[in-house]
Amino acid sequence: MALILRNIAKISRGRLARNIYFWLFVALFMYVLNDNADQYPKTVYLGYKAVTTCLLIIITYTNNLLLVPFLLVRKKYILYILSAIILMILISFGYVALFKNMLSIHPGIKIYEVSIITSPVGPEWDMVTIADEIQTFMFAMFMWLIIFTLAWYANDYGRQEKLAKAAAAKQTEAELGMLRNQLNPHFLFNTLNNIYGLTLKKSDAAPETVLKLSSIMRYILYEADAPLMPFEKEKEIMQAYIDMELLRLPPGEDYTFNIEADRNYNIPPLLWLPVLENVFKHGTRVIADNYFINYSFAISKGIMHITAENNCKGTTPTAGGLGLSNLRKRLEILYPGRHEIQVQQNETTYRIEVTVTLS
């Protein structure tokens, strides 16, 4: 039942439904336009109103479905103008013939009481009179065509805009996918280097590091393709990464890690990875008694702050590294004009701060 209701709701908002709503409105407007309709049989009045509405439908869809897309859009201007004139003449003749027929059957009815415009149509059928009477409708038909031709172009513009946005969204998605694919090998390469170092030392931490890596890679490969992930899930993987890296470092050093949010936000996955990876890669290359890592990932009131500070004595500056370059590009796509990356470095300390306005 729910599926049926959803389908009905979808159809009721569709293009066909909107067209039906419009012509029902036109028919209703034409019906209530005449205050003296009760002076003649209602069936007669409704019948002629229905026919006049059909004539408007014919001129509208002939123009919008045939003449505009196949002639005007293709810049066949002269052919379009000639076709439009012929169409207007035919529809105007339809009005004249309709009203003359009506007058011959119901001579007591005043023509302007059933016409959509006041027109001096009489019962005569000679060619000169008919030509004059057709002219009285031509202006109305001309204005009608202009309105609906403009409506066609407005609708087409909206359609082209929608297609352009869809294409841009696909391109953005492809670029983000490419950046994520760049990130994964980079992360894996660095982690395998760390595991290799542990195996050379025959460290007991090597097996647990492999298990942590397996958990993180499973998340990256099978879950992080989603555009947004819950903060709690990101926190879980972030903590797993920190634990994995700490396995290869001596305990008791100056390590500070803070991960918190004032609610469970949905955020792009792995934005934190280049910063955290950078900290462990370069902040632990100094002499063993001088390790220093201060890392914070916090979201408060819709603003995300990623801050990392580490000792960098004797290390190469990292501001232009692949991971951070990747992060810059992702933020430019995801949060244009709503993010900032600040990097400070002196002889002993490297600090990076990323600020992103999520909403």
DSSP collapsed to 3 states, the chain = CHHHHHHHHHHHCCHHHHHHHHHHHHHHHHHHCCCCHHHCCHHHHHHHHHHHHHHHHHHHHHHHHHHHHHHHCCCCHHHHHHHHHHHHHHHHHHHHHHHHHHHHHCCCCCHHHCCCCCCCCCCCCCHHHHHHHHHHHHHHHHHHHHHHHHHHHHHHHHHHHHHHHHHHHHHHHHHHHHHHHHHHHHHHHHHHHHHHHHHHCCCCHHHHHHHHHHHHHHHHHHCCCCCCEEHHHHHHHHHHHHHHHHCCCCCCCEEEEEEEECCCCEECCCCCHHHHHHHHHHCCCCCHHHCEEEEEEEEECCEEEEEEEEECCCCCCCCCCHHHHHHHHHHHHHCCCCEEEEEEECCCEEEEEEEEECC
Where a domain ends, among 108, 137, 164? 164
Based on the fold, state whether residues 155 and 11 are members of the same structural domain: yes
Based on the fold, state whether residues 120 and 236 are members of the same structural domain: no
Please tell me the predicted confidence (pLDDT) of residue 297. 96
Please tell me the predicted confidence (pLDDT) of residue 281. 74
Is 92 within a domain?
A: yes
Based on the fold, state whether residues 9 and 151 are members of the same structural domain: yes
Where a domain ends, among 164, 181, 211? 164
Please tell me the predicted confidence (pLDDT) of residue 208. 77
- The pLDDT profile of the chain, 359 residues, written as one tens digit per residue, is 666 666 666 666 677 778 788 888 877 776 665 544 555 566 777 777 788 888 899 999 999 999 999 999 888 999 999 999 999 999 989 888 887 887 777 776 665 544 445 456 777 787 877 887 788 788 888 999 999 999 999 888 888 888 777 766 666 666 656 556 555 665 666 677 767 666 766 677 677 777 777 787 788 777 777 888 999 999 998 998 888 888 777 776 678 899 999 998 999 888 898 898 888 876 555 555 567 889 999 999 999 999 999 887 655 444 445 678 888 888 888 899 899 999 988 877 889 999 999 97
Based on the fold, state whether residues 210 and 352 are members of the same structural domain: yes
Residues spanned by the domain of 286? 203-357
Is 177 within a domain?
A: no
Is 137 within a domain?
A: yes
Is 193 within a domain?
A: no
Based on the fold, state whether residues 227 and 150 are members of the same structural domain: no
Where a domain ends, among 164, 187, 217? 164
Based on the fold, state whether residues 147 and 222 are members of the same structural domain: no
Based on the fold, state whether residues 30 and 119 are members of the same structural domain: yes
Is 179 within a domain?
A: no
Is 278 within a domain?
A: yes
Is 192 within a domain?
A: no
Based on the fold, state whether residues 209 and 316 are members of the same structural domain: yes
Please tell me the predicted confidence (pLDDT) of residue 253. 66
Please tell me the predicted confidence (pLDDT) of residue 59. 93
Please tell me the predicted confidence (pLDDT) of residue 115. 47
Based on the fold, state whether residues 334 and 263 are members of the same structural domain: yes
Based on the fold, state whether residues 143 and 250 are members of the same structural domain: no
**Considering its fold, how many domains does the chain have in total?**
2
Is 172 within a domain?
A: no
CATH number of the structural domain spanning residue 273: 3.30.565.10
Based on the fold, state whether residues 215 and 283 are members of the same structural domain: yes
Please tell me the predicted confidence (pLDDT) of residue 114. 45
